[in-house]
Structure 1
Amino acid sequence: MHPMLKPALRRAWRDRATVQFGITPAQAVVVSPVDPATGHFLELLDGTQGLPILYERARALDLPPGQVDELVTRLTAAGVVDDPTAGGPAADALRDRTDALERLRPDLASLSLVHPEPGDAAARLAARGAVRVQVRGAGRVGAGVAALLSGAGVGRVDVLDGGLAQPGDVAPGGLPVGAVGERRATAAGQLVRRAAGGPPRRAREAEQTPLSLIVVVPRDPLDVYAPNAADAEEWIGGGIPHLYAGVVETTGLVGPLVLPGGTGCAGCLSLGRAERDPAWPRLLAQWRSGRRHTAVPACDLALAAAVAGLAAAHALAFLDGDLPASTGTRWEASLPQLDWRSAPITPHRDCFCGAVGNTRGEQAAGAARAQDTMAR
């Protein structure tokens, strides 16, 4: 082991015997008692030295090996120690890609706080490189999501969309002005490659990578607010998790993240809404007929960027092995207050997805409701 105090955690002395690692309540850890010799020893934990060398240097501070082991164990348990040599073969391969690692160091630092075990952050960041995600939609939100996922180290990001890029599709972090008039899918593919900051994976290797997640970001706002359950049947049948996101009128939406057979899906959303509002199917049929279709849907640029960022963060959390608050839940925020609120999608007894009674789905929805209550 090469112990290293996590660079992402600033440390400061609360008093002469107490050290605080981290600034925010989400990460702050207080370690006490810390005597002057131990304080000097902390400066040696920079990841460049293994324990045998650290034992030798600690002797000059009158710290025996047993005390060094106890300190490292305490700090590791507190989540403030990493090991830049740990994480397994995939992490080692990532470290050999110096340019890619330097670009992703802020992401690595963040992961080291979310996943505190030594080497765990490097392992998870390396695992992103083996993941394949499909983004359906290359408008203001979808292109931004695709670029963020690719830039965060996801190995393969496929973007599906039709038609030609329009001036209204252009957005900072999304399609550039030069993409106007190009096929949206082609322009989005170029954006993804630029965001990756390196050469694309070999075609054969990419084709063999299973699809880990679909991010559904329709340009039609109606398909954002009332996603078509028929489109999801194939994904649910294939067991492919999918996350919805987009902007409708002045409201940004992120979620639900659907775990097939585990959480409420688009079909559950539609059935539940029809039960609560008997007029909903009639309204939806009229809107889908296209007779009142708006030529240029409303999509505030800053709101689109916020939705893209939040959707990408939820997608990355899921890909890294966690269940984000969008699991079985839709999060909404409307201009101008932008107060994010949650709406759990309850599995419906008549839906084809079979999520009713699934404990995992119920737990995920319950966790989302609890988080929303705490936020309020």
Structure 2
Amino acid sequence: MCGWYDDGGSTMHPMLKPALRRAWRDRATVQFGITPAQAVVVSPVDPATGHFLELLDGTQGLPILYERARALDMTPERVDELLARLTAAGVVDDPTASGPAADVLRGRADTAERLRPDLASLSLIHPEPGDAARTLGARRAIRVQVRGAGRVGATIAAVLSGAGVGRVDVLDGGVARPGDVAPGGLPERAVGERRSTAAGRLVRDAAPGGPPRQGRGAEPDALRLIVAAPREALDVYAPNEADAEEWVGAGIPHLYAGVVEATGVVGPLVLPGGTGCAGCLSLGRTERDPGWPRLLAQWRSGRQRRAATPACDLALATAVAGLAAAHALAFLDGDLPETTGSRWEVSLPRLDWRSTPIEPHRDCFCGAVGNTRGERASAAVGPHDTMAR
């Protein structure tokens, strides 16, 4: 039995990943992918192997491929060796290898077509055959809560829903105002409507094929992540510690995002008990600047709030929302993005992103002192004599 058969005896359908463009460096060297992060070089490639690569489109199982390879004077063993090397390099996928959650998506043509670019992207960072489809399918069983329905929060919610997250709840008070309207966020027709109602409709409209239905095997599970995207600028820069204590106590990971004055903020992503939280941020800032609590109390006074005109540049808010959504999806898909235990800031007009670690504080309620953010999972391919990234 050749190496690409699974334990059940059925065959896989190897496919060169459509997201990786293929080009010949010379007559005997093929490069898959454009960027250094993805590029794989295969050499030497003889004419027979070059012709065989054209057959790897996911429509043919191994028995047929073996037969067609024989016409090219390639043995099954040689085919297995080539496929094993290409698979190890993250170049090969299998459209039939997925699982129940991905099968649900595959059975809904409209949803699958909407998410095809997302699937192609996931195939580049989840290298094993079928991993991308499983990851995308698993998103439909995820529940996320977004706190805030302004320019940043509503856009984050729409992106998460559009990317296949099964349930996105948006919490906010009051009614939408003209300044809340944003491309990708609340539309102009939402002005005067309750923010939570308008955001709920936005999320439903963004969902590919509509939200998961009961009985389809993809009902969202327990709350996996809270994204705090408050409209109040101070709550972006100095997050509410009472909320943080509640979320840490419940063991709910949470990510902060928003705009304060002319600065966009993404992070930290807080892993309860593992990384620095809003309490750590406050304690550390007070140690560095003893006058900070006095300033904060004045800024939070009712008089100051009423007199303030919120600054929220539309392009900056959109950039913050996109980055926050991308970090949230990376976490939900099983990775640890760079905002884990760290805050990223970008300021107009130069837009230079900078990162500041949020160190766990010894006096904080979260108990994260002594813990680390952990190691990011790596799928790097080691060096090979005829294949290199």
Sort the TM-score into its range (normalised by shorter chain).
over 0.9
How far has the Cα of 1:231 moved from its partner?
Answer: 1.1
Partner secondary structure for residue 115 of structure 2: helix
Q: Is the 8 A contact 2:14 2:61 kept in 1?
A: yes
How far apart, CA to CA, are the structure 2 residues paired with 1:39 and 1:200?
Answer: 43
Q: Is the 8 A contact 1:85 1:92 kept in 2?
A: no
- Aligned-residue CA RMSD (Å): 1.7
Partner secondary structure for residue 96 of structure 2: coil
Amino acid at match of 1:251: T
1:286 aligned partner: 298
Amino acid at match of 2:174: G
Of 86-95 and 258-267, deviating more is 86-95
Q: Is the 8 A contact 1:332 1:342 kept in 2?
A: yes
- 1:146-225 maps to which residues of 2 (within 5 A)? 146-202=157-213, 209-225=221-237
How far apart, CA to CA, are the structure 2 residues paired with 1:37 and 1:207?
Answer: 48
TM-score computed with the length of structure 2 as normaliser: 0.91
1:273 aligned partner: 285
Q: Is residue 92 of structure 2 the alignment partner of residue 81 of structure 1? A: yes
Q: Is residue 128 of structure 2 the alignment partner of residue 128 of structure 1? A: no
Query: Which of 337, 352, 357 is the equivalent residue of 1:324?
Result: 337
Q: Is residue 124 of structure 2 the alignment partner of residue 117 of structure 1? A: no
Kindly provide the CA deviation profile for residues 277-298 of structure 1, in whole angstroms up to 9, marking residues without a partner as x: 0100100111111322244300
How far has the Cα of 1:191 moved from its partner?
Answer: 0.3
Gap regions ≥5 residues in structure 1: 365-376
How far has the Cα of 1:49 moved from its partner?
Answer: 0.5
Gap regions ≥5 residues in structure 2: 1-11, 378-389
Q: Is the 8 A contact 2:166 2:220 kept in 1?
A: no
2:54 aligned partner: 43
Higher helix share goes to which structure? 1
1:372 aligned partner: none
Kindly provide the CA deviation profile for residues 321-350 of structure 1, in whole angstroms up to 9, marking residues without a partner as x: 000000000000000110100000000000
Report the number of matched residues. 364
Over 3 Å counting, the alpha-carbon distance change for 1:295 and 1:181 in structure 2 is farther
1:230 aligned partner: 242
Q: Is the 8 A contact 2:115 2:208 kept in 1?
A: no
TM-score computed with the length of structure 1 as normaliser: 0.94
Over 3 Å counting, the alpha-carbon distance change for 1:208 and 1:11 in structure 2 is closer
Q: Is residue 355 of structure 2 the alignment partner of residue 336 of structure 1? A: no
How far has the Cα of 1:209 moved from its partner?
Answer: 2.2
Over 3 Å counting, the alpha-carbon distance change for 1:361 and 1:277 in structure 2 is farther
Which of 1 and 2 has higher RCO (CA within 8 Å, sep 6+)?
Answer: 2
How far apart, CA to CA, are the structure 2 residues paired with 1:320 and 1:188?
Answer: 24
How far has the Cα of 1:160 moved from its partner?
Answer: 0.1
How far has the Cα of 1:206 moved from its partner?
Answer: 9.2
Partner secondary structure for residue 292 of structure 1: helix
Kindly provide the CA deviation profile for residues 240-287 of structure 1, in whole angstroms up to 9, marking residues without a partner as x: 000000000000000000000000000000000000001001001111
Of 39-48 and 86-95, deviating more is 86-95
Over 3 Å counting, the alpha-carbon distance change for 1:288 and 1:240 in structure 2 is same
How far has the Cα of 1:14 moved from its partner?
Answer: 0.5
Q: State the identity %.
A: 83
Runs of 4+ in 1 over 4 A off after TM superposition: 202-208, 361-364
Q: Is the 8 A contact 1:5 1:82 kept in 2?
A: yes
Over 3 Å counting, the alpha-carbon distance change for 1:79 and 1:201 in structure 2 is closer
2:364 aligned partner: 351
How far apart, CA to CA, are the structure 2 residues paired with 1:148 and 1:270?
Answer: 30
How far apart, CA to CA, are the structure 1 residues paired with 2:16 and 2:223?
Answer: 36
Amino acid at match of 1:320: D
Q: Is the 8 A contact 1:252 1:332 kept in 2?
A: yes
How far apart, CA to CA, are the structure 1 residues paired with 2:280 and 2:82?
Answer: 52
Query: Which of 39, 58, 61 is the equivalent residue of 1:28?
Result: 39
How far has the Cα of 1:98 moved from its partner?
Answer: 1.2
How far has the Cα of 1:207 moved from its partner?
Answer: 8.7
Q: Is residue 81 of structure 2 the alignment partner of residue 70 of structure 1? A: yes
